[in-house]
Amino acid sequence: MCRHCFGGFNPDNPQPTPVVPAAGAGCPEAGVLNRKDPALFLVQPDAAIPGPLQGLQPEEIDLGAIDREILTVLMSIRHPALAPDDVRRLTEAMPEDRDLEKVDPREILLAFRASDPQQLPTALHRYVEEACGKNRHGLRSVVPLAEMAGLGAAKEAALEIVSALRDWKAGLLDWSAVPRGLLLAGEPGTGRTELARAMAGEAGIRMIEASYSKWQQPGALSRFLTAMDRSFEQARANAPAIIFIDEIDAFSSRRDADANGHNDSYDVKAITALLEQLDGMAAREGVVILGACNRLDLLDPAIYRSGRFDTVIRIVHPGLEDLAAILGQHLGDDGELINLTACAATALGQTGADCAAAVRKARMSARRSQRGICTADLRTALAGEDPGYSADDWLRLAVHECGHAIVATALRAAKADFLRVDARGGICRFRELPALETAEQMHRMRCLNLAGQAAEQLMFGSFSSGSGGGADSDLTLATQSAADQIAAFGLGSTGPVWFAPAGSNDARQEALNGLLPDVAGLLEAARQDALQILTVNKDLLLRMAEELASERILFGSGLSGKSRPSSLRTMASTR
């Protein structure tokens, strides 16, 4: 297409007015139209032919979809060294023609860029799987909104929003009765974006994707604000619509600005502009805001107050039944061949995104072996390849996790949901029981945090690095608890003195810099009490650990029957 005559493509205006130069304006391509040579113009299947070309009455030729026959020719050109039998074998392993139609041609070309032709069928099957459920907005969802699993109250809130928007469009509901917005908080992979995709797939609802990083791409603040305005204008023009602002915690908080930072002015103005958009309820009639964030504590409280986001929901990891449903949805018809309960048990503690990735990995493993997917494929993909640990290493991992469960139950501080050891290490997932945050309760939770280390010390005379390392490790949680007790809550030896907010780096630094002996004393007291509980329950610890090392997972009745309070000998008192 002549860029001089028809202009550039503007994604916000897919049907721009053609620009035809005046006679003698000197269009470099104009000579092509003055000759009788044939001209070929390529357009998307659903694109309208520009006005000037319609006057030429062009003949339209539908090239059709890419099929196996085309891929066979393309493979022979891309890999001329392949023997005809190899070409035929690889072609037969590719997706059927009806499935190839679902894949973006650019993704097919990307698959053919791989140097190893043996990887072509696997790559194409993956693109087909990802394309299934692709909706008109470009977002992909595995299942309809009503069938999503593991999202609990978040799904119910999403269904209410979709229903309210439809009723508003039909004139059955006043705009003032429509929810202002929904903010979803949770760890990456817990289904926040998938929920937005499912909402985008609902008939009659338009979804506009946005994020801090997308708005910031132009760079300057003025362009940032213009990009934000454009998203809201686009949503208003397509009402009923939902604006999905992903990773909204990237806006941070104005309370973190001290007027001295290089970017403080930029960030404060960006947050203020967002608040103005969120407040414009009357001006954005027909538009609901859906936000997603990893950490609610980093977000400016003004963003998620009532009237801007009416509902704030934390999404947690799915349970056993929900995991089985999620795996079944990703497996489709293959789910009938899989023991979903066994696979869900292996997946405990993982997210819906982890399940989707494991299904893809299991399918690739099965295709490499030229057979159908089986339960072992999926369990291996969920648990990871066997790291080759010795029996003693597996037992040490198991002892550590069982130590957490026994102490949590003995002190009635938390309820263990499951224990697991695998290639990634060990995990004890528990739910903290409701209790006021007193010095005694904080001590009980530190006992729980340090129980894994105490169990290793009891059984092996030493402990591994498993309690430390990351920001969410046992030692980190215990240390932050001790720092908060002293520096934030005034419950330490310094008395009722406040140094910094709870959970902050400042609280930790204040406690460690000036009160390190006090912090160390609180941690050591917790470890000693955990060690005392485990010592009187040593036989139970060993039995549980041996079973966990063998089975790799304990959950449900297999766990509660061993660690219930009646089977434990508990200390008479705690500090």
417 located within any domain: yes
CA contacts within 13 A on the Cβ side of 321:
2
| Sheet order of strands, 206-211 included | 206-211, 241-246, 287-293, 181-186, 311-315
pLDDT at 264: 58
Can you say whether the dihedral through the CA atoms of 453, 456, 460, 466 is positive or negative?
negative
| Domain annotation covers residue 572 | no
User: Do residues 400 and 494 both lie within one domain?
Assistant: yes
The average pLDDT across 229-233 equals 90
Residues 418 and 489 in one domain: yes
pLDDT tens-digit series, residues 350-365: 888 889 889 999 998 8
Beta bridge partners of 311: 182
User: Quick check: is 82 in a domain?
Assistant: yes
For 130-156, what is each residue's pLDDT tens digit? 665 444 444 455 578 888 888 889 999
Q: For the chain, how many structural domains are there in total? A: 5
All residues at 6 or more sequence positions from 7 whose CB lies less than 8 Å from its CB, including other chains: 16, 18, 19
Judged by average pLDDT, the poorest of 64-73, 197-206, 482-491, 559-568 is 559-568
Same domain? 127 vs 272:
no
Examine residue 42 and state whether it is found in any structural domain, yes or no.
yes
Q: What pLDDT sits at residue 472?
A: 80
Higher pLDDT, 69 or 326: 326
- Arithmetic mean of pLDDT, 25-40: 58
For position 353, which CATH number holds?
1.10.8.60
Query: What's the whole-number mean pLDDT along residues 235-248?
Result: 88
222 and 351 in a single domain? The answer is: no
Count Cβ atoms below 10 Å from residue 574 Cβ, excluding itself: 18
More confident residue, 25 or 254: 254
Please confirm, yes or no, whether 401 is among the known catalytic residues: yes
Question: Quick one: pLDDT at residue 260?
Answer: 46
Give the CATH number for residue 512: 1.20.58.760
In a domain, 165, yes or no: no
> Are 402 and 550 within one domain?
yes
Which has the higher per-residue pLDDT, 528 or 100?
Answer: 528
Residue 543 belongs to a domain: yes
Residue 160 in domain: no
Q: Is residue 155 part of a domain?
A: no
Q: What is the DSSP string of 547-569?
A: HHHHHSEEETHHHHHHHSGGGS-
At 5, the pLDDT band (50, 70, 90 cuts) reads very low
Q: What is the pLDDT of residue 485?
A: 92
Residues 371 and 483 in one domain: no
Of 470, 460, 458, 461, which is closest to residue 530 (Cα–Cα)?
A: 458
Domain around 98: 68-131
Write out the H or E segment, with its range, that includes residue 236.
helix 221-237
pLDDT confidence tier of residue 4, bands split at 50, 70 and 90:
very low
Least Cα distance to 312 among 122, 169, 445, 185 occurs for 185
CATH of the domain at 237: 3.40.50.300
pLDDT of residue 133: 46
Q: In the prediction, which pLDDT does 159 show?
A: 92
Residue 372 DSSP SS3: coil
Based on the fold, state whether residues 274 and 334 are members of the same structural domain: no
User: Positive or negative, the Cα torsion across 325, 326, 332, 333?
Assistant: negative
State the average pLDDT for the chain: 81
Maximum average pLDDT range among 148-152, 294-298, 446-450: 446-450
Q: How far apart are CA 524 and CA 522, in angstroms?
A: 6
Task: Give per-residue pLDDT as tens, 481-524.
Answer: 999 998 889 888 888 888 888 888 888 887 778 788 889 999 99
Residues 31 and 105 in one domain: no
The reported pLDDT for the residue numbered 99 is 73
Give yes or no: residues 395 and 300 share one domain.
no
Q: Please say which residue of 268, 294, 315 terminates a domain.
A: 315
Band the pLDDT of 63: cuts 50, 70, 90: low
Q: What is the pLDDT of residues 186-222, one digit of tens each?
A: 888 888 888 888 887 786 788 888 888 889 877 788 8
565 has a pLDDT exceeding 70: no
pTM above 0.75, yes or no: no
SS3 state of residue 210: strand
Pairing of strands 311-315, 181-186: parallel
C-alpha 456/C-alpha 347 separation (Å) is 26
Q: 485 and 373, same structural domain?
A: no
What percentage of residues in the chain have a pLDDT greater than 90? 26
Question: From CA 341, how far away is CA 332, in angstroms rounded?
Answer: 16
User: Do 415 and 549 belong to one domain?
Assistant: yes
Query: Can you give the pLDDT at residue 300?
Result: 83
Q: Which of 264, 285, 315 is the last residue of a domain?
A: 315
Question: Is 294 found in the same domain as 324?
Answer: no
Please identify which of the residues 202, 401, 456, 510 carries the catalytic annotation: 401
Residue 2: closest CA among 22, 31, 23: 31
Q: Which of 16, 34, 63 is the last residue of a domain?
A: 63
